[in-house]
Structure 1
Amino acid sequence: AGADCVRELSKVRRLVGYMPDKFGSYDNMRVREYLDFFGAAFGIPRRERQKRVSEVLDLTNAVWMQDRYVESLSHGMQQRVGIARTLLHRPEVLILDEPANGLDPEARIEMRTILLRLAAEGRTLIVTSHILPELSRICDQVAIVAGGKLRAMGTLQEVTRTLSQRRTVEIQLLSGEGIQAAAARAKKALEPEADVTVSEAETIIRCRTSAGDETLGELLRAMILAGDRVGQFREVAGDLEEAFVTAAREAEAERDAAGAAQVASKEVSK
């Protein structure tokens, strides 16, 4: 945001909002009192504070709970209040630690809606989470850290391709007629290790392959020449969980190698 984190610490604090995974609430306060308290801690004047509290309650769809005691709220409700607290000083960058952790499916959908709304307003959201399918639905950039190292960063498609070295291509036919023969053609055109599956109900052939764009182009051409009625031929985003597991295994292999090297070094020194 154009501020030096060492020399301009107070400016950075105004620009950044942080929501920890633990709520850290004052249970004997009502929600509006709780937010007003933190607004005062941020140094927001009283009149402006009331306006800001109403603003963040509306933004997080929490107006209806403003007179309830914090201790009476469910975990999902408390998470919403936590985001409201984080937004009080109107930060440009939000750092959210496991915002969907422990939420039921309905509360998770509500949380996702709030985060997408904040992103649509032009705020930058940095979200840490182990609920990877949820991240893949809301993030346009992904970073995977394993073993203390940044293993991959980029779009979801870039990250999954970097770590898995394979891509997923979906070929949808206009009808299920001849789909098995079309799948056999796809298998033959791709490398032997390619994983080709068929969903007759969806009339879709899915290919997990390391083939390049040129090979895929040749596959499409061959299918059309063979008379396959191709409705869609597209690459879909990879599996973020699979990419993370790959990164974790790489980190584990590095630790094992480092441990073996250390043992060998000690034996040599003897």
Structure 2
Amino acid sequence: MIELQDVTRLFGSTRAVDHVSFMVPRGSVFGYIGPNGAGKTTSMRILATLELPTAGDAFIEGLSSVNDPDRVRRRLGFMPDAFGSYSDTNCAEYLDFFARSNGLVGRERTRRIRWVMDFTGLRSMAEKPITGLSKGMRQRLCLGRALIHDPSVLILDEPAAGLDPRARIELRQIIRSLAADGKTILISSHILSELAEMCDRVGIIEQGRLLANDTVAGLKGNSQTHLDLIVVIDGETETAKTILAQCEQVSDVVELNRTLQFRVAGNRQHQIEILHRLCDARVNVLEYRVVDESLEDLFLKVTAGNVQ
């Protein structure tokens, strides 16, 4: 449904996008993450027919954004990181304008406006001026504009930026609902914990180059040459620390309130052997688990913090 093929975009001597390729299948959510200036927005604008690549091509449902932009736009809903509004315009008028711009007429236009307002929770705000909306409601209105012509593909650039916790949760539910209905979604965000919850795959971009493209679980597996474990002890911890110090695979042992955190090199069998040794020494183990890596941890591992 979405495909970038070896896309490059130059601004002078700067490679904003550098030979980026990825695909997003129908009905899935692809999270696009990277630092400011990494090339996320430029990639999205190329897909949305708002920017031409220096080399390569971008496709929506097999149609080239470069060679067939009109047909691409009929299949695509684009939500930019900031959107303009018109003075003295209320929500209903705003959506009606974009419905007409997308060629909707008569009952179909009325039906789509009503559906969008109901789906985004804007029905009670229909007559309210856009300038009087909260940040969360403005984001809902911008999403509604992207949905007004019932596109099969959505590109959302930082839709959760500046939203309060409740608004972010509600937006996440809306996005998952759209994916469940078969829409394909490319979304960028700096709130990585939320992307981990809603995305089927994530792509990590830095200095214009795509460094990773995998599921969150796949990224964890690829990045782990070691595991961090936690063991919670009921009673004294000296015996447990002595046993860990004797294990060649164990390093970086830290104690805090009868909880030991340590790093284990090697495979799952080493984790099992360590637990057996603790139990054989009659250490009262209350909890023994792997420290789960977050998407933020994976992002820091994959990227180097470079900007351009």
TM tier relative to shorter chain = 0.7 to 0.9
- Once the two structures are TM-superposed, the CA of residue 128 in structure 1 deviates from its matched residue by 0.8
How many aligned positions are there? 247
Answering whether residue 234 of structure 2 is matched by residue 177 of structure 1, we say yes
Aligned to 2:181: 121
Aligned to 2:73: 13
Distance in 1 between residues matched to 2:80 and 2:280, nearest whole Å:
57
Aligned to 2:146: 86
Distance in 2 between residues matched to 1:190 and 1:63, nearest whole Å:
64
Aligned to 1:130: 190
| Contact 2:250/2:264, CA 8 A, preserved across alignment | no
Q: 1:142-153 maps to which residues of 2 (within 5 A)?
A: 142-153=202-213
Instruction: Please give the TM-score of this superposition, normalised by the length of structure 1.
Output: 0.75
Distance in 1 between residues matched to 2:257 and 2:140, nearest whole Å:
40
Unaligned runs of 5+ in 1: 256-270
Aligned-residue sequence identity (percent) comes to 35
Aligned to 1:36: 96
| Contact 2:117/2:123, CA 8 A, preserved across alignment | yes
CA pair 11-198 structure 1, distance change in 2 beyond 3 A? farther
Distance in 1 between residues matched to 2:113 and 2:239, nearest whole Å:
60
Aligned to 2:40: none
More strand by share: 2
Aligned to 2:304: 249
CA pair 178-231 structure 1, distance change in 2 beyond 3 A? closer
Secondary structure of the residue aligned to 1:193 is strand
Aligned to 1:3: 62
CA pair 20-216 structure 1, distance change in 2 beyond 3 A? same
Distance in 2 between residues matched to 1:182 and 1:8, nearest whole Å:
70
Aligned to 1:193: 251
Deviations 1:4-62 (A, max 9, x none): 32555444323321100002222421101111111111112221111111111111122
CA pair 220-101 structure 1, distance change in 2 beyond 3 A? same
Query: Paired residue for 1:54, among 106, 114, 130?
Result: 114
| Contact 1:190/1:215, CA 8 A, preserved across alignment | no
Q: Bigger shift: 112-121 or 205-214?
A: 205-214
Distance in 2 between residues matched to 1:199 and 1:71, nearest whole Å:
52
Secondary structure of the residue aligned to 1:153 is strand
**Code of the aligned partner of 1:35:** L
Deviations 1:247-268 (A, max 9, x none): 332757xx9xxxxxxxxxxxxx
Answering whether residue 216 of structure 2 is matched by residue 159 of structure 1, we say no
Deviations 1:184-225 (A, max 9, x none): 35665473435556676xxx7655544322322333444555
Aligned to 2:160: 100
**Code of the aligned partner of 1:177:** D
**Code of the aligned partner of 1:142:** V
CA pair 249-217 structure 1, distance change in 2 beyond 3 A? same
Say which structure, 1 or 2, has more relative contact order (CA 8 Å, 6+ apart): 2
Distance in 2 between residues matched to 1:170 and 1:50, nearest whole Å:
58
Unaligned runs of 5+ in 2: 2-60
| Contact 2:234/2:286, CA 8 A, preserved across alignment | no
**Code of the aligned partner of 1:109:** I
Question: What's the C-alpha RMSD, in Å, of the aligned pairs?
Answer: 3.2
Instruction: Please give the TM-score of this superposition, normalised by the length of structure 2.
Output: 0.67
Distance in 1 between residues matched to 2:236 and 2:197, nearest whole Å:
30
- Once the two structures are TM-superposed, the CA of residue 96 in structure 1 deviates from its matched residue by 0.6
Distance in 2 between residues matched to 1:58 and 1:94, nearest whole Å:
19
**Code of the aligned partner of 1:29:** T
Q: 1:228-247 maps to which residues of 2 (within 5 A)?
A: 235=290, 237-247=292-302
Distance in 1 between residues matched to 2:137 and 2:150, nearest whole Å:
21
**Code of the aligned partner of 1:114:** I
- Once the two structures are TM-superposed, the CA of residue 229 in structure 1 deviates from its matched residue by 7.0
**Code of the aligned partner of 1:159:** L
Distance in 2 between residues matched to 1:183 and 1:86, nearest whole Å:
58
| Contact 2:250/2:263, CA 8 A, preserved across alignment | no
CA pair 232-75 structure 1, distance change in 2 beyond 3 A? same
More helix by share: 1
